[in-house]
Amino acid sequence: MRAISVAGLGFGDESKGATVDALCRSLPVDLIVRLGGGSQCAHNVITPEGVHHTFSQFGSGMMANDQVRTHLSRFMLIDPITMLNEADELAKKTPGWWRRLTISARCVVITPFHKRLNRLRETARGTGRHGSCGMGVGVAREFELKYGRDNVLCAEDIYDWVDLREKLKFQKNLVQKEMGVEATSDLNIEDIKVGYDRWKAFVRLVPEDSSIIGESRCMVFEGAQGVMLDEKHGTAPHNTWTNTTFENADTLLDEIGCTDRMRIGCLRTYYTRHGVGPFPTEDNTLDLPEPHNGNDGFQGKFRVGRFDFTLAKQALSIVGGVDVLALSHLDYLPRLGWQERVFIDRVSELAPVVMQGRGPTAAHRTINMEVTA
């Protein structure tokens, strides 16, 4: 049994999705485990044939072949409605994905009430916005921490109408108490149930993560966002409410007694950040095309900056080091004023660079590593 954990060493958008896709195409990976975050994730993958998908709540190697499975661990927050929307898109691009998906019964569910409160709060902050994606992840996590798992909606609760209705009422009342009755006037619990009924007809819940993870011979643990946005190590309030390090992967692997582990840290040749928040090397003069990132989302401006070795060392310290690095966007180095060999040598002083990306697809990536399951 072999486990490869993938985490971003920046503020997100470090090509984690493309890295997972490349691993699934090059190595005998049979399972992708999502480690955390929620529906705010946007991991862009382009196949060698040119098919594009933005993975949000599914493993980013699902288009690599039709044998790779995805498991959403209990550390992930799920949104059944947006999951259905993503599934409809994914079904156009890869076959049989429903049979390749399992979900922990203990996943916290992000509901329309979480999303509504999230967006109302962020909008009310005006120029003091935190940089939220507006997908309700932080509010769902806040409710979990404040009221406990017994009072939040988990995936297994969707199957019990009485429990589901009471927990949705509880959330609705909290939003109304803070933002007024009109804040939820268009959100009907019975309508929400209709969407959830469609979702539960397709998915397979499992009571324990170990029952799925323990069956794998070679698995990839896919992280979300970047460690510089971590709930403990990011700069509040411009950080996430979830763990973006390798900690959740280590917990799951400890539970099944897997010791054959590899940590991959993902870096670009430059840094990026969505929305507001500290960005030491931001440089608005850089001309770096971003076909799948823009300024028109709820989160706000997409920002770029030059590579920061100090920041990279800080990220490595936060996660306790990595075994190897995946370095993407090497084809942009001429725009950044670097010679490729010089840059790779410098980055290799941090950790060995075993994956090099010079374009958008797995065909543009070289992998110098072997995994035997």
Rounded to two decimals, what is the model's pTM? 0.95
pLDDT of residue 177: 97
Q: Is 308 exposed, middle or buried (0-12, 13-18, 19+ CB in 10 A)?
A: middle
Domain with CATH 1.10.300 in the chain: 112-204
Of 6, 4, 3, 46, the C-alpha closest to 225 is 6
Report the chain's terminal Cα–Cα distance, integer Å: 5
Of 275, 357, 353, 295, the C-alpha closest to 11 is 275
Condensed to tens digits (0 to 9), the pLDDT of residues 186-207 reads 999 999 999 999 999 999 999 9
Distances (CA, A) of 97 to 19, 48, 70, 100: 20, 19, 9, 5
Degrees, nearest 5: CA angle 334-23-52: 70
Residue with the bigger pLDDT between 20 and 290: it is 20
Dihedral of alpha carbons 152, 153, 156, 157, sign: positive
What single-letter amino acid sits at 97?
W
**What is the domain class of 112-204 according to CATH?**
mainly alpha
Which tokens hold the place of 67?
A: 């044998």
Distance CA 24, CA 367 (A): 12
Highest mean pLDDT among 40-44, 345-349, 360-364 belongs to 345-349
Domain with CATH 3.40.440.10 in the chain: 2-105+206-367
Distance CA 339, CA 11 (A): 25
Q: What is the mean pLDDT of the chain?
A: 94
Of 69, 77, 144, 138, the C-alpha closest to 104 is 77
Condensed to tens digits (0 to 9), the pLDDT of residues 97-146 reads 888 999 999 999 999 999 999 999 999 999 999 999 899 999 999 999 99
> In the predicted model, is pLDDT for residue 310 greater than 80?
yes
CATH of domain 2-105+206-367: 3.40.440.10
